[in-house]
Amino acid sequence: MRLFVGLGNPEAQYAANRHNIGFMAVDRIAGDHGFAPWRAKFQGQITEGRLGREKVLLLKPETFMNRSGQSVGEAMRFYKLTPDDITVFHDELDLAPGKCRVKTGGGHAGHNGLRSIHGHIGDAYHRVRLGIGHPGHKDRVAAYVLSDFAKADQQWLDDLLRGLSDGAAALAEGDTARFLNAVALRTAPPRSSTSTPKPAPQKAPPAPAADPATDDTRSPLQRLADKFR
């Protein structure tokens, strides 16, 4: 069994925030793969279903971001899981918008949700880092992550969420390369190896043959005289 955790803040006012891209990811997976209805449990919302050969739980902590670890820890202990069974989807300032990377272990880089999870289950869980870009200065980070995605972001955001859903079964089965390839096919589709051939340049039509009747500049009298020469 796998536990996929999406990080975000509850309440409608935060739903479209950059900080809530983790919620968006697990919502997309649940909707696309026919998971059961969400229900309240473990201080959050949880649902279950299958991705490929794996039974998977999806969890959205409702403790607010900086206490996400409480919800994750409860779910992990209830289902007797280990940190290696858990994958967390979260926003990543240090990646360009639309980029996706997978990481296991390591620090939390100041992310409040990850910091809380570290405190409750340690750092040996997996993470899907979802790039949202950086506002350019650390003093602007809080306002940036708690602001909604701009209209200009909607295309890449939708492509990214589609890719995460496409590759979810591979991720559940531990095939990180196949998962990232599925994401890349949505976010950076390859150019076609075949292109429509250019039409061959048309040859200029041949010049019309000379017409003696129209090209003869002699007078009628001269033409008549020439016949008897």
Please write the tens of the pLDDT for every residue from 10-48: 999 999 999 999 999 999 999 999 999 999 999 999 999
Radius of gyration of the chain (CA): 33
- How many domains, in total, are found in the chain? 1
Element (H, E) at 114: helix 112-121
Tell me, yes or no, whether 154 lies in a domain: yes
CB 186 within 8 Å of CB 166:
yes
Tell me which residue range forms the domain holding 21. Answer: 2-187
Give yes or no for residue 191 having a pLDDT over 70.
Answer: no
In the set 19, 90, 111, 126, the catalytic residue is 19
**DSSP conformation class of 169:** H
CA distances for 216 relative to 74, 209, 228, 229, angstroms:
106, 14, 17, 17
- Report residue 44 as tokens: 């959050």
Instruction: Count CB-CB contacts under 10 A for residue 23.
Output: 22
Tell me, yes or no, whether 201 lies in a domain: no
Residue among 50, 59, 51 at smallest CA distance from 23: 59
pLDDT cut 70: percent of the chain above it: 83
Q: What is the CATH number of the domain that holds 6?
A: 3.40.50.1470
pTM above 0.75, yes or no: yes
Average pLDDT of the chain? 90
Cβ neighbours of residue 23 closer than 8 Å, sequence gap 6 or more: 6, 7, 8, 15, 60
- Report residue 225 as tokens: 């005289």
126 included as an active-site residue: no
Q: Are strands 100-104 and 86-92 parallel, antiparallel or unpaired?
A: unpaired
Tell me, yes or no, whether 123 lies in a domain: yes
Tell me, yes or no, whether 219 lies in a domain: no
Tell me, yes or no, whether 209 lies in a domain: no
Please write the tens of the pLDDT for every residue from 137-187: 999 999 999 999 999 999 999 999 999 999 999 999 999 999 999 999 999
Tell me, yes or no, whether 132 lies in a domain: yes
Tell me, yes or no, whether 36 lies in a domain: yes
Q: How high is the pLDDT of residue 206?
A: 61
Tell me, yes or no, whether 27 lies in a domain: yes
Give yes or no for residue 219 having a pLDDT over 70.
Answer: no
Question: What number of CA atoms fall less than 13 Å from residue 4's CA on the CB side?
Answer: 32
